[in-house]
Structure 1
Amino acid sequence: MRKYYFLFIAFIFISAVQAQNGYQIKGTIKGVKPEPLTLAHYFGYGQYIVKDTAVADANGNLTFSGDKPLLEGLYMLLLPSKRRFADFVIGKEQNFTFSTDTANVIGNMKIEGSPDSERFYKYQKQLVGYNSEIGFLQAQQKLRQDMMTQAKINNIRRQIMEYYQEFAKENSNSLTGKILSASAEIQLPAAPKRPDGRPDSAWLFHYYKAHYWDNFDFSDERLVRTPALQRKLDRYIQELTFQDPDSLIKSSDFVIGKALKGGSKELQAYCIWYLTNQAENPTTIGGDAVFVHLAEKYYLGGIMPITDSSTVQNIRSKVKTIKPLLVGKIMPALALTDTAGKLRPLADLKAKYTVVFFYDPDCGHCKESTPALKAFYEKNKTTVQVYAASVARAPEQWKKYIRDFGVGEWVHGYDYTFRIDFRKDFDVTTTPMVYVLDQDKKIIARRLPVEQLEGFMDFYEKRLAYEKSLK
């Protein structure tokens, strides 16, 4: 968890009405060492929240218990090494027993008193059986390749899919069934034909994306405590959405809209938090616009159901900093003093492109990036100028840096007034920080690694030429 840890903690305290008698889960694990094991529920697929710890005795017996009921969801049993040992679907029935052994956890798992976990392991055992058959046939294939063996493998795979669909349908009202349904692939209809007679693959893609969430129950908050939601979000945003700000905003709003319509406060909060958190560190040019949109609409707009005043204030401050610096905006005014004592406004530079390089002369990354920026400048100096802005309060180090790296041709600037807050005014939270401006000083890229300047400029020039050809 990188950002908004305080918000993450808030999720722990949100729950629906549960049973009132607490929980007691007794287990026996043959072959386990006398050591503490942890019970935790999923929070996305890469995170979990610890709820209890129990120590196994010499016979592998252990008990988890508490006065308050557990939040319903998919739980994992963790060994001291943090390795996941087993999963349990914990619903309203929270007084149950289980037994298994370390040799074959799934195959030997027996559960009494938890219908959802019983369903879960019934499904798991059936899958293990199918996969064992496939493994045997694949071993045969290594010795002898034949069409019959491959046909058998394909037939078993069809049986797995049929069993999956049938099991999910029969158990659709249970949490186990909802977890399986949430992960189910959409059944695609026959695609219409293109004029050349071939199936229209673009139509199929749009159909798939439009129906991607059909099997996900946005009214069931328990799905937050499973890996299903985060996996679907990641695929929808990263694989099914074109990676430009407008498309990412549209997809994010679509998902959040479904969560809001579903009515689960916790599910709404997770979708808003996760998508905003992912957008805060964009991997695409101009991606900061996605964060600003989501932050303004859902956090500052009062829609986010789980928040506090400090969260809102932090987000408001960040939006205030980033919004004037988004791709497409004119770079805010910046005027620094050069080594000759002359004031050098950024706006006065006459170049087709300007690279604004915020750096600290003593920063290791800045020193590593400078030779690459110098090489880029030397190759493109007829169209590119570099405006190098030192953010450090050490004028002698600044001048030494210029001499040591031999970058006197750049326009260099230092804030002798100490009035500029580079963090607030230009979002310089780390150094180096790079902006690329066009001839009108409009921002065309920000937070771009120096090593990617050449590739970006080549792409940008080609895009401009393409757009010009369409006019």
Structure 2
Amino acid sequence: MRLSACFLLLTLFFSCGDTGTALNPSAGDGVNDGSLDNAESPDIRLTITNVPTAGALLIGQYMDQQFRVDSARVEGNTVIFQRDEPYPIGHYYVYFTNGEAVQLLISKDQTLTATADMGNLVGSMKVDGSEDNELFYQALADESDLQPEFKALATRRAELRNGSAEYVAMRGERAALVEKRSSHLQSLFDRAPNSLFAAYKKAGQNPDLKTIYTATGDLDEAAQVADFRLHFWDNVNFSDDRLLRTPVIKNKLRRYVTELTPQNADSINLAADRLLAKTDYVGKFYEFFANWIALQYEPGNSTIMDAEAIHVHLIQNYFTPERATWSDSMTIYGLQQRAETMAYSLVGQQAPDITVPGLDGRGERLYDLEKPYVAVFMYNPECHHCVEEAPKLTALYDDLKDEVDFYAIALDTDDDKWEDFVRTQNFTPFTNVFDPTNRAIFKTFYVDNTPELYLLGPNRKIVAKNLKVSQLLDAIELHKIQ
């Protein structure tokens, strides 16, 4: 059976920001794959006061994983990172023994010194030998200077009536402050348009939140969010693999998928389609996005009503031999087979018409049940959660018996255990079936964990699935008003 099936997602490599307004993304939009050709051997020296210097670790990241890259040598108050092989280009943290950290951008120029006081890290940071880090810490300092003004405006906003003259004036002040921030950043980008710093900071900028009104003149917040989501990736250069070794891409991906996208299968699939199209279905961004979204909504672990619909959509469209070039043919075949099995029982589809042997040995046809709704309950008699949910189901019987038929399917057991479960759990009013060969239900209702509860409507289409028994009544009532 398919119970507790291992999710065969394709292997990820060993394995992300900032807020602000949209900026001109054109500078530095050429291909940059993070090549280490002509890169220096590292000689990175940090002298940070007011922090223990007994040792330090260099921590890097790739896609959504952080990992230890190197450990420091200590000379007096200075921690030193040296080796023959260049470090991969990207964003790093230097962690000290007390847990405090210093951020670094490491590009091909890997000889640099930095001095600072941990008590005022950004304000005191002095960097020599690395334009990326000079610009990075200048940007952090500029932002730090502006934050008190943004906070003061936020405090005033909370005290003002929306639409008042004072409120309009406050919004004008904030727009001017946002423009000041953008101007500061743009001046830094202009100094080094092809730098890691420019690519990283641009990628972290959010699009402008447009003011959109409905036909009646009210603020259309749904349209604002939709436009924001549509332009969320405008400042990201998908040809720049260096960005995959920074926090910005992982952070943007999580926000885009789990916060800005409504958490239902149709919306998630549409958001995934739009994002993956930006990668032209090739390269490391494509590999990362496809794997991450599929893992985020892995059936059995996701709380989305029909996570299988997301899985089927992603696997059938993006994990193909032509597109999933990082994986082997057998893994792809396994994923496609599992997706095909799931595809038979997605929400909104016509439920499979199955006939399974009942307690008397005769076939019990699902479509012979005549009440408006059918609850299909799939269980294993020795499953702990099944034993917990079964009494809740029988407790609902009297309230629902006039409009719901209960079709209970035993899985992966034997006749004696099945019949004992039916008797001890008071399932006798239900239609009880069991096929030891599983042939009667092969490629029908998908089950990743037991118990599994599906609700079928009057036309025998799948109304809901992955239900807890406590959700059954609400699912019926919701369907009636749709």
The alignment partner of 2:292 has SS state of: helix
The code of the aligned residue for 1:124 comes to: L
Structure 1 portions without partners, runs of 5+: 140-149, 464-471
Is 1:41 aligned to residue 60 of structure 2? yes
Is 1:183 aligned to residue 183 of structure 2? no
* Structure 2 equivalent of residue 73 of structure 1: 90
The alignment of Structure 1 onto Structure 2 pairs a total of residues equal to: 446
The alignment partner of 1:71 has SS state of: coil
The answer on whether the counterparts of 2:238 and 2:285 sit within 8 Å (CA) in structure 1 is yes
* Structure 2 equivalent of residue 121 of structure 1: 137
The answer on whether the counterparts of 1:35 and 1:56 sit within 8 Å (CA) in structure 2 is no
* Structure 1 equivalent of residue 289 of structure 2: 271
- In 2, Cα distance between equivalents of 1:274 and 1:4: 13
Query: Residues 432 and 422 from structure 1, CA distance in 2 versus in 1: closer, same or farther, beyond 3 angstroms?
Result: farther
The answer on whether the counterparts of 2:123 and 2:141 sit within 8 Å (CA) in structure 1 is yes
- In 2, Cα distance between equivalents of 1:275 and 1:207: 21
* Structure 2 equivalent of residue 405 of structure 1: 425
Alignment of 1:251-400 (within 5 A): 251-260=271-280, 265-281=283-299, 282-300=302-320, 302-400=322-420
Query: Residues 193 and 275 from structure 1, CA distance in 2 versus in 1: closer, same or farther, beyond 3 angstroms?
Result: closer
Query: Residues 202 and 322 from structure 1, CA distance in 2 versus in 1: closer, same or farther, beyond 3 angstroms?
Result: closer
- In 2, Cα distance between equivalents of 1:202 and 1:193: 10
- In 1, Cα distance between equivalents of 2:77 and 2:442: 56
Is 1:8 aligned to residue 12 of structure 2? yes
Percent pairwise identity: 26
The alignment partner of 1:8 has SS state of: coil
- In 2, Cα distance between equivalents of 1:214 and 1:116: 22
Moved more, 418-427 or 115-124: 418-427
* Structure 2 equivalent of residue 223 of structure 1: 243
The alignment partner of 1:126 has SS state of: helix
The code of the aligned residue for 1:272 comes to: A
* Structure 2 equivalent of residue 210 of structure 1: 230
- In 2, Cα distance between equivalents of 1:26 and 1:366: 60
The answer on whether the counterparts of 2:58 and 2:72 sit within 8 Å (CA) in structure 1 is no
Query: Residues 459 and 55 from structure 1, CA distance in 2 versus in 1: closer, same or farther, beyond 3 angstroms?
Result: same
Cα offsets for 1:113-150 (capped at 9, x unmatched): 221122212222333344467789999xxxxxxxxxx9
**Which is bigger in relative contact order (C-alpha 8 A, separation at least 6)?**
2
- In 2, Cα distance between equivalents of 1:460 and 1:260: 39
- In 2, Cα distance between equivalents of 1:256 and 1:238: 16
The answer on whether the counterparts of 1:78 and 1:86 sit within 8 Å (CA) in structure 2 is yes
* Structure 2 equivalent of residue 447 of structure 1: 466
The code of the aligned residue for 1:177 comes to: A
What is the Cα-based RMSD across aligned positions, in Å? 3.9
Moved more, 427-436 or 391-400: 391-400
In the TM superposition, what is the alpha-carbon distance from 1:355 to its structure 2 partner?
A: 1.6
Cα offsets for 1:231-281 (capped at 9, x unmatched): 3333333444444434332222111111228x7x11222222223333434
- In 2, Cα distance between equivalents of 1:70 and 1:434: 51
The answer on whether the counterparts of 1:39 and 1:52 sit within 8 Å (CA) in structure 2 is yes
Q: How does the TM-score come out when normalised to structure 2?
A: 0.78
Cα offsets for 1:63-101 (capped at 9, x unmatched): 3334333332222233568x5622212222222223345
- In 1, Cα distance between equivalents of 2:233 and 2:383: 46
In the TM superposition, what is the alpha-carbon distance from 1:155 to its structure 2 partner?
A: 9.5
Query: Residues 444 and 155 from structure 1, CA distance in 2 versus in 1: closer, same or farther, beyond 3 angstroms?
Result: closer
The alignment partner of 1:412 has SS state of: strand
In the TM superposition, what is the alpha-carbon distance from 1:391 to its structure 2 partner?
A: 1.8
Structure 2 portions without partners, runs of 5+: 1-5, 16-31, 156-166
Moved more, 157-166 or 224-233: 157-166
- In 2, Cα distance between equivalents of 1:287 and 1:385: 26
In the TM superposition, what is the alpha-carbon distance from 1:54 to its structure 2 partner?
A: 1.0
* Structure 1 equivalent of residue 103 of structure 2: 87
The answer on whether the counterparts of 1:390 and 1:398 sit within 8 Å (CA) in structure 2 is yes
In the TM superposition, what is the alpha-carbon distance from 1:322 to its structure 2 partner?
A: 0.9
Query: Residues 153 and 28 from structure 1, CA distance in 2 versus in 1: closer, same or farther, beyond 3 angstroms?
Result: farther
Alignment of 1:158-197 (within 5 A): 161-172=178-189, 173=193, 174-188=195-209, 191=212, 194=215, 196-197=216-217
Cα offsets for 1:201-221 (capped at 9, x unmatched): 565455434333322222222
In the TM superposition, what is the alpha-carbon distance from 1:462 to its structure 2 partner?
A: 0.8
The code of the aligned residue for 1:162 comes to: E
The code of the aligned residue for 2:294 comes to: T
- In 2, Cα distance between equivalents of 1:342 and 1:237: 48
Query: Residues 302 and 51 from structure 1, CA distance in 2 versus in 1: closer, same or farther, beyond 3 angstroms?
Result: farther
The answer on whether the counterparts of 1:26 and 1:98 sit within 8 Å (CA) in structure 2 is yes
In the TM superposition, what is the alpha-carbon distance from 1:31 to its structure 2 partner?
A: 4.5
Is 1:63 aligned to residue 80 of structure 2? yes
* Structure 2 equivalent of residue 144 of structure 1: none
The alignment partner of 2:79 has SS state of: strand
- In 2, Cα distance between equivalents of 1:107 and 1:310: 55
The alignment partner of 1:435 has SS state of: strand
